[in-house]
Amino acid sequence: MTDSRKALGGCDSGQSLAILPVLLLWVFCLIPSLCNASDGGAQLPGSTAHHEFSADDFDWREMVPYLLVAANLPGEQGVKAVLENCKALRIYVGNEVRAQCSPGKDPCPAMNDNSVDNEVSKRIDQIVQEGISRRHNKAIVDYTLSRRPFPFSEIAAVENENHSEAYFMLTFADRSYTAADVQAKYGAPYDTDVVQWYSVFKYRMENPHYTSKAVFEIDPVDGAVLKVSISLKPRKSKKEKTTRHG
């Protein structure tokens, strides 16, 4: 698969395929809860084993490891690293694959999780290749999720190549997910604000390696969540700062 797993520095494809799983494991273990969850042979994030997906099934914290990986990859490969590991997108595309592959349809090989998962990866690769644009040194993919029922209507990933920052956004398809649901899942936000006509709830994760923030846009009238935007910015080590200013 010719994807983001082929691009880490000057490595050839064989080396980078071996390195990225190690990097992902290291990133996951920066977040203890995710590291512990990966024990015991758990399925990889993005598995298509479950065909249904609700707004509450999405957890912004699960995107943080992939945003950190993406922030250290070139633009297109960074964007793809985010999208190909997004559970919501993989399930959406997997449902499309199954819908298009009914019994008797050609080509339709044995429809097991492995064959669907491989086809999902190919289609996400196509989404990135056909949809990527570049503006102001940013690599951007914005994709509409038009198939219903599904809790989200739009997905986007952005990488700022100048500043090694990565972003991810989901737009909610209806008004069933509310501010109360957000607080029940994540607790009280560390900050709230009003931007233009909507309210925002802000959450963050910090450690010595990065700062990641999630902003939920909420309609103040009925409390419906409209969009979630996640950003990640790696922190430079003291050595990097000294080298830059030296």
Are 90 and 21 within 8 A, CB to CB?
Answer: no
pLDDT greater at residue 107 or residue 232? 232
CA distance 225 to 107: 40
CA dihedral 31, 83, 154, 75 (to 10 degrees): 100
| The predicted structure's pLDDT at residue 109 | 52
- Tell me the pLDDT tens digit for each residue of 60-115: 999 999 999 999 998 899 999 999 999 999 999 999 888 887 665 555 555 666 78
pLDDT tops 80 at residue 242: no
Per-residue pLDDT band for 46 (boundaries 50, 70, 90) equals: very low
pTM above threshold 0.85: no
| The predicted structure's pLDDT at residue 44 | 41
| The predicted structure's pLDDT at residue 211 | 96
pLDDT tops 60 at residue 182: yes
Who's near 148: CB < 8 A, 6+ residues apart?
Answer: 173
- Round to the nearest angstrom and report the end-to-end CA distance of the chain: 41
| The predicted structure's pLDDT at residue 100 | 80
| The predicted structure's pLDDT at residue 91 | 94
Per-residue pLDDT band for 196 (boundaries 50, 70, 90) equals: confident
| The predicted structure's pLDDT at residue 51 | 72
| The predicted structure's pLDDT at residue 161 | 78
Phi, psi at 132, each rounded to 5°: -75, 140
The amino acid that residue 108 corresponds to is C
Who's near 144: CB < 8 A, 6+ residues apart?
Answer: 153, 154
- Of 28-42, 156-170, 226-240, the range with the highest mean pLDDT is 156-170
pLDDT greater at residue 137 or residue 228? 228
pLDDT tops 60 at residue 116: yes
- Mean pLDDT, rounded, for 198-202: 97
Mean pLDDT, the chain, rounded, equals: 79
| The predicted structure's pLDDT at residue 104 | 59
